[in-house]
Amino acid sequence: EPEVTQTPSHQVTQMGQEVILRCVPISNHLYFYWYRQILGQKVEFLVSFYNNEISEKSEIFDDQFSVERPDGSNFTLKIRSTKLEDSAMYFCASTPTSRNQPQHFGDGTRLSIL
Amino acid sequence: RKEVEQDPGPFNVPEGATVAFNCTYSNSASQSFFWYRQDCRKEPKLLMSVYSSGNEDGRFTAQLNRASQYISLLIRDSKLSDSATYLCVVVSSSGSARQLTFGSGTQLTVLP
């Protein structure tokens, strides 16, 4: 079964540094998403992406965050100047063309900010 | 009122027991509903969609009550492997892409 893959599985970064989290969505999917989950808390929506632009974003997704689809396969989340509170699991998800399909999640990147 | 609210549990049940989880949502315009399960420090995995008429998948039964704005999940003959956190998920966006809103999850532990 096709999978969403994410790299790295764990990223440790000094506060104030930039990080890029990478995702390879399922190949025929057209809608892409980032979510985060702070340890012990619920999964929170960050941003959705379709047709090479952001469709929706949450209040969490402020100016320090950006997303990009630099080529035909990768979908990246960049955090420009990381804060301690950015430490979380970051999940990428994708869906195919139909809006009624459930989302498939990657196994996440654990981001630890020191 | 939270957008999606679940009893956090924990629910500790013996193997073979039947257990039910409820979830309420605040947005009456919500369109789609799902149950996901999440194992410790893993990604959410789709368990089942929830349809208006109710649906069953093996030992799992999901129900939707739009009038009262709640959904439920029933697990029969629970197994040790059912131990996980069960996430109620609601599609709350009417935009061009679907945004999932997650409940905080209900923790289930099935005991031998």
Share of chain A above pLDDT 70, in %: 96
Question: Which residue in chain B is spatially nearest to A4 when comparing CA positions?
Answer: B43
- Could you report the per-residue pLDDT of B71-102, keeping only the tens digit for each? 999 999 999 999 999 999 998 655 555 678 89
Check if the beta carbon of residue B25 is closer than 8 Å to that of residue B11.
no
Q: How far apart are CA A35 and CA A47, in angstroms?
A: 7
- Mean pLDDT of the region A47-68: 92
Of the candidates B34, B41, B42, the beta carbon closest to that of A102 is on B34
Mind telling me how many Å the CA of A104 is from chain B's nearest CA? 7
Q: Which of B80, B78, B79, B101 is nearest to B30 (CA)?
A: B101
Judging by beta carbons within 10 Å of its beta carbon (0-12, 13-18, 19+), is residue B98 exposed, middle or buried? Answer: buried
pLDDT score recorded for residue B28: 85
Q: Which residues of B touch A69 (CB under 8 A)?
A: none
Q: Which residues of A touch B44 (CB under 8 A)?
A: 43, 91, 105
- Could you report the per-residue pLDDT of A85-113, keeping only the tens digit for each? 999 999 999 988 756 677 889 999 999 99
pLDDT score recorded for residue B1: 64
Of the candidates A45, A100, A106, the beta carbon closest to that of B99 is on A45
Distance of CA A33 to the CA centre of its chain: 6
Q: Supply the mean pLDDT for chain A.
A: 92
